[in-house]
C-alpha cells in the first residue's frame, strides 16, 4: 500500500516498533467495572431473591397504537448512510487517536497522568521526548488511513465526513417529527424506564424476553437505546468534538469546561465512540439472533416478509459496498492525498474561515492554570550551523529579518525587539495530535511589528521560517493570514512561563497565534516574510506540514 513512498516517509509511517497496547489506570478499571457490574449485580439480586419481573414486552404500554408500523424509505436510507459515515468517522478517529495515544482528564497532559495509553512506551524522563516521537502505528484495517503519524489525512476523512453525518442526522430527525414515526423512537411515558429495567433483568439473567416484532414494536430497552443513540450520543459526539477546537476554546474558554476541561472533552469524545461500538455490537448481535432475514427485510426492503431473503442479500451487498468504500478511502489516502486535502479545505476551510476563524482569542487563564508540563514538539535545529553558532552565544548576535512586501524591511536584534513592546498572555496550546497545555507567553505583539514594517496593500499572508527542519527534511515554515496576525494575543514570544524561552520550546523566538493549532506556531524563527499569497512559498499549501503531511489548509481567499 505504501510502497511508493520514500524511505524517509516509510521510516515514519511504518516504523519497526508497531506494538499497540491498552494500559488503563486501576481507578478507571474500578469505574468501568462499576458501570458494568452494578446493574448486572442488581439484576441478578432481583432475579435470585425476588424472581423474574413480568416481561413488559408482552404489554407494550409505552408504544402508542397510532405509530405507523414499518420503516419508511427515508428511515431505511438514512440508517445505511449513517452506517457508511460512522465507519469512516470511527476509523479516521482511531487514526487521530493513536497520533497522541494517551487520554487524560487534565489540560496539561502530564506524562503518567493519562487514564489510558495505547502505547507500550512510558515517557522517558532523562531525554527530550517529543509528541511526534510518541505517535503510534495503527493498522489500516482499523484506522483510516492507518500507519503512523498520518493525522493530517485522518483529519481530512474525519472532517469531510462530519458535515454529511450531521446533514443525514438532521434529515432523519426532520422526517421523524414530520411523520408519526417519532412515536416509535421517542418514549412518551416514564413507564419506559421501569419497563426497560425489567427487560434488562431478563437479558442479564439469560431469560430472553418475548421478542416483539420490530416492524410494529420495540421493547422498552430497545426503544431507549435507539433514542439514546440518536438524541444523546450523536449530539455529545459533536459537542465534545467542538470543545477540542483552539478557535472555540480560546474565544469561549467556558465551553470546554462544560465537559470538565479540554482533555476530558477529548476523553469523552473517545468514550462516545466506545458507546457507539458497544451499541453496534449489541444491535448487530440481536438483529442476527432474532431473525436475521426478517429483520433485514424490515430495514432494507421495508417489508415484514418472513419467507424472502432479498433484504438479507441486498443488506450483505450494502455492507460489502461500505467495506469497498473504506478500501477506496484508503487507496485515495495513499495515492491521491492532495485532492483530498483540497476538497476538505474547500468544504470546511471555507466554512471555518467564515465562522469560527473570525473569533478573536480572549485572555482568560490565570497563573494557577499554568500546566506543570508542556509537551515539546519538532526537531531542534541542530543541523543549522547558523543557529548553533547563535545559540552558543546565547542569541546575542541574533537578528530577526523581516522581508517581503513591506515598506520598511527590518533586521532587529533581541534587545531591539524587546524595546518595541511586550505583551503577556496565558493561553491554551492545542496540538493537532491531541495534547494541550496552558502556558504564559511573553513577547512582541505581531500587530506592533506590522505597524512598524507597513505591509503593502496586496499583502494577505505572513510567512514564518524556522532554523529547524520538518519531519521529512527541508526548512520548517508556516503561514498565517495577516488578519490572524493582527488578532489580540498573536505574539513573537521570547518568554515562556515568565522565563526566557528554552531551546526545547523554540529559542530565541517562536510564534503564538492562539486561534490556531500548534503546528502553525513556528519555533526557532529565522525570518519573516510578508507575501501576497501562501501559494507563493514552499510547495504552495501554506506550511511545511500542509506541504508534506497534508495538514489542514488555510482556505483559499
Ligand X SMILES: Nc1nc2c(c(=O)[nH]1)N[C@H]1C(S)=C(S)[C@@H](COP(=O)(O)O)O[C@H]1N2
Q: Contact residues for ligand X (CB under 6 A)?
A: 374-379, 431, 466, 468, 476, 505-506, 518-519, 521-524
- Give the residue closest to ligand X by C-beta: 378
Looking only at the bridges linking them, the beta strands covering 399-404 and 525-531 are parallel
Contacts of 103 (CB under 8 A, 6+ apart): 114, 115, 116, 117, 263, 266, 267, 270
Residue 524: contacted member of ligand X, Mo ion, none (CB under 5 to 8 Å, by partner type): ligand X
Q: Which residue lies nearer to ligand X by CB, 93 or 518?
A: 518
Closest distance between ligand X and the C-beta of residue 341, in Å?
A: 17
Cα 187 to the chain's mean position, in Å?
A: 32
Q: Is 272 in the site for Mo ion (CB under 5 A)?
A: no
Q: Could you give the 3-state DSSP secondary structure of residue 213?
A: coil
Residue 374: contacted member of Mo ion, ligand X, none (CB under 5 to 8 Å, by partner type): ligand X
Q: Give the DSSP letter string of 248-302.
A: HHTTSTHHHHTTSSHHHHHHHHHHHHHHHHHHHHHHHHHHHHTTHHHHHIIIIIS
Q: Which residue lies nearer to ligand X by CB, 134 or 195?
A: 134
Question: What is the rounded CA–CA span in Å between residue 150 and residue 12?
Answer: 9
Stretch that binds Mo ion, among 13-21, 72-80, 372-380, 388-396 (CB under 5 A): 372-380
Q: Give the three cell numbers for residue 546.
A: 500542509
Q: Which residue lies nearer to ligand X by CB, 62 or 136?
A: 136
Question: What is the rounded CA–CA span in Å between residue 371 and residue 367?
Answer: 9
Q: Is 551 in the site for Mo ion (CB under 5 A)?
A: no
Question: What is the rounded CA–CA span in Å between residue 97 and residue 114?
Answer: 13
Question: What is the rounded CA–CA span in Å between residue 302 and residue 294?
Answer: 10
Cβ proximity of 373 and 131 under 8 Å: no
Q: Give the three cell numbers for residue 123.
A: 515517557
Closest distance between Mo ion and the C-beta of residue 104, in Å?
A: 16
Q: Which residue lies nearer to ligand X by CB, 363 or 379?
A: 379
Stretch that binds Mo ion, among 17-25, 279-287, 516-524, 547-555 (CB under 5 A): 516-524
Question: What is the rounded CA–CA span in Å between residue 47 and residue 39?
Answer: 12
Closest distance between ligand X and the C-beta of residue 26, in Å?
A: 30
Q: Running DSSP on this structure, what letter comes out for residue 10?
A: H
Closest distance between ligand X and the C-beta of residue 476, in Å?
A: 4
Residue 309: contacted member of ligand X, Mo ion, none (CB under 5 to 8 Å, by partner type): none
Q: Is 518 in the site for Mo ion (CB under 5 A)?
A: yes
Q: Is 135 in the site for Mo ion (CB under 5 A)?
A: no
Question: What is the rounded CA–CA span in Å between residue 272 and residue 232?
Answer: 10
Q: Which residue lies nearer to Mo ion by CB, 476 or 519?
A: 519
Q: Which residue lies nearer to ligand X by CB, 120 or 474?
A: 474
Residue 521: contacted member of ligand X, Mo ion, none (CB under 5 to 8 Å, by partner type): ligand X
Q: Could you give the 3-state DSSP secondary structure of residue 73?
A: helix
Q: Is 431 in the site for Mo ion (CB under 5 A)?
A: yes
Q: Which residue lies nearer to ligand X by CB, 63 or 438?
A: 438
Q: Which residue lies nearer to ligand X by CB, 108 or 311?
A: 108
Closest distance between Mo ion and the C-beta of residue 515, in Å?
A: 15
The residue ranges that bind Mo ion (CB under 5 A) are 377, 431-432, 518-519
Amino acid at each position: 500500500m505504501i510502497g511508493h513512498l520514500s524511505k524517509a516517509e516509510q521510516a515514519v509511517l511504518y516504523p519497526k516498533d508497531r506494538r499497540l497496547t491498552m494500559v488503563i489506570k486501576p481507578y478507571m478499571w474500578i469505574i468501568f467495572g462499576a458501570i458494568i457490574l452494578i446493574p448486572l449485580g442488581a439484576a441478578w439480586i432481583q432475579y435470585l431473591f425476588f424472581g423474574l419481573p413480568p416481561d413488559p414486552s408482552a404489554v407494550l404500554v409505552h408504544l402508542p397504537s397510532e405509530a405507523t408500523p414499518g420503516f419508511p424509505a427515508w428511515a431505511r436510507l438514512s440508517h445505511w448512510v449513517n452506517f457508511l459515515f460512522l465507519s469512516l468517522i470511527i476509523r479516521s478517529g482511531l487514526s487521530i487517536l493513536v497520533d497522541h495515544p494517551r487520554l487524560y482528564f487534565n489540560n496539561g497532559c502530564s506524562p503518567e497522568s493519562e487514564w489510558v495509553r495505547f502505547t507500550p512506551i512510558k515517557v522517558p524522563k532523562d531525554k527530550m521526548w517529543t509528541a511526534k516521537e510518541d505517535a503510534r502505528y495503527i493498522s489500516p484495517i482499523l484506522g483510516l488511513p492507518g500507519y503512523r503519524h498520518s493525522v493530517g489525512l485522518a483529519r481530512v476523512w474525519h472532517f469531510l465526513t462530519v458535515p454529511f453525518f450531521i446533514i443525514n442526522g438532521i434529515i432523519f430527525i426532520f422526517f421523524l417529527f414530520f411523520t408519526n414515526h417519532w412515536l416509535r423512537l421517542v418514549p412518551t411515558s416514564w413507564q419506559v424506564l421501569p419497563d426497560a429495567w425489567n427487560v434488562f433483568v431478563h437479558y442479564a439473567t439469560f431469560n430472553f424476553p418475548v421478542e416483539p416484532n420490530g416492524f410494529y414494536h420495540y421493547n422498552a430497552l430497545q426503544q431507549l437505546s435507539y433514542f439514546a443513540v440518536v438524541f444523546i450520543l450523536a449530539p455529545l459526539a459533536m459537542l465534545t468534538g467542538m470543545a477540542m477546537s483552539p478557535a472555540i476554546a480560546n474565544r469561549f474558554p467556558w465551553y470546554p469546561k462544560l465537559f470538565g476541561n479540554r482533555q476530558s472533552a477529548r476523553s469523552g469524545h473517545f468514550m462516545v465512540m466506545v458507546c457507539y461500538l458497544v451499541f453496534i455490537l449489541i444491535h448487530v448481535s440481536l438483529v442476527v439472533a432474532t431473525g436475521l432475514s426478517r429483520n433485514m427485510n424490515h430495514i432494507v426492503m421495508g417489508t415484514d416478509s418472513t419467507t424472502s431473503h432479498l433484504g438479507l442479500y441486498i443488506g450483505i451487498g450494502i455492507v460489502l459496498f461500505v467495506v469497498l468504500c473504506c478500501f477506496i478511502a484508503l487507496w485515495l489516502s495513499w495515492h491521491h492525498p492532495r485532492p483530498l486535502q483540497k476538497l476538505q479545505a474547500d468544504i470546511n476551510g471555507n466554512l471555518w474561515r467564515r465562522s469560527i476563524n473570525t473569533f478573536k482569542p480572549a485572555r482568560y487563564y490565570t497563573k494557577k492554570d499554568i500546566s506543570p508540563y508542556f509537551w515539546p514538539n519538532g526537531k531542534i535545529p541542530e543541523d543549522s550551523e547558523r543557529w548553533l553558532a547563535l545559540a552558543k552565544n546565547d542569541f546575542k548576535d541574533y537578528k530577526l529579518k523581516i522581508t517581503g512586501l513591506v515598506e520598511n524591511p527590518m533586521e532587529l536584534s533581541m534587545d531591539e525587539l524587546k524595546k518595541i513592546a511586550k505583551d503577556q498572555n496565558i493561553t491554551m496550546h492545542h496540538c493537532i495530535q491531541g495534547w494541550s497545555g496552558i502556558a504564559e507567553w511573553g513577547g512582541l505583539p505581531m500587530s506592533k511589528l506590522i505597524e512598524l514594517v507597513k505591509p503593502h496593500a496586496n499583502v494577505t499572508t505572513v510567512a514564518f521560517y524556522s532554523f529547524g527542519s520538518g519531519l521529512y527534511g527541508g526548512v520548517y515554515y508556516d503561514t498565517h493570514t495577516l488578519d490572524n496576525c493582527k488578532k489580540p494575543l498573536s505574539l513573537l514570544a521570547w518568554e515562556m512561563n515568565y522565563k526566557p524561552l528554552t531551546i526545547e520550546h523554540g529559542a530565541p523566538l517562536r510564534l503564538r497565534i492562539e486561534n490556531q493549532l500548534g503546528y502553525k506556531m513556528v519555533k526557532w524563527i529565522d525570518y519573516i516574510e510578508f507575501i501576497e499569497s501562501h501559494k507563493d512559498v514552499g510547495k504552495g499549501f501554506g506550511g511545511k506540514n500542509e506541504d508534506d503531511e497534508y495538514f489542514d489548509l488555510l482556505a483559499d481567499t
